[in-house]
Amino acid sequence: DAGITQSPRHKVTETGTPVTLRCHQTENHRYMYWYRQDPGHGLRLIHYSYGVKDTDKGEVSDGYSVSRSKTEDFLLTLESATSSQTSVYFCAISAGRDTGELFFGEGSRLTVL
């Protein structure tokens, strides 16, 4: 158990509404990540953080923003949700110093109607 908690685990919302997903870790790891998982695409990186208030974009960042005001929390926000953002979202933390290995949360399933 890597000490990662995602909330909410399931959410249904309507197009145009804001949505925030939360990732909480108890491991005090510096690096945190948000990925989305879609059939046929595997996992794609949305945003990542390398410290408090230090964040950067991944490959599919359009329509998403993130914030990290505390080491333990990494928030993913959809300012105005669209149906194309229906997906399963995974938070991850970097496990090893230089190995690239990641530990993943259980995922948050978001449905945008």
Partner 1 sequence: AQSVTQLDSQVPVFEEAPVELRCNYSSSVSVYLFWYVQYPNQGLQLLLKYLSGSTLVKGINGFEAEFNKSQTSFHLRKPSVHISDTAEYFCAVSPSMDTGRRALTFGSGTRLQVQP
Rule CB under 8 A: which residues touch partner 1?
Answer: 31, 33, 35, 40-45, 48, 50, 56, 58, 90, 94, 98-102, 104-107
Which residues, other chains included, contact 82 with Cβ-Cβ below 8 Å and sequence gap of 6+?
Answer: 15, 63, 112
Least separation in angstroms between CB 92 and partner 1: 8
Least separation in angstroms between CB 61 and partner 1: 12
DSSP 28: -
Neighbours of 47 (CB within 10 A): 22
Task: Report whether 99 contacts 38 (CB < 8 A).
Answer: no
DSSP assignment of 82-103: -GGG-EEEEEEEE-SSSS--EE
Which CB, 14 or 54, lies closer to partner 1? 54
Which CB, 85 or 94, lies closer to partner 1? 94
Written as one letter, the residue type at 38 is: D
Least separation in angstroms between CB 100 and partner 1: 3
Which CB, 4 or 75, lies closer to partner 1? 4
Least separation in angstroms between CB 85 and partner 1: 19
Which CB, 14 or 56, lies closer to partner 1? 56
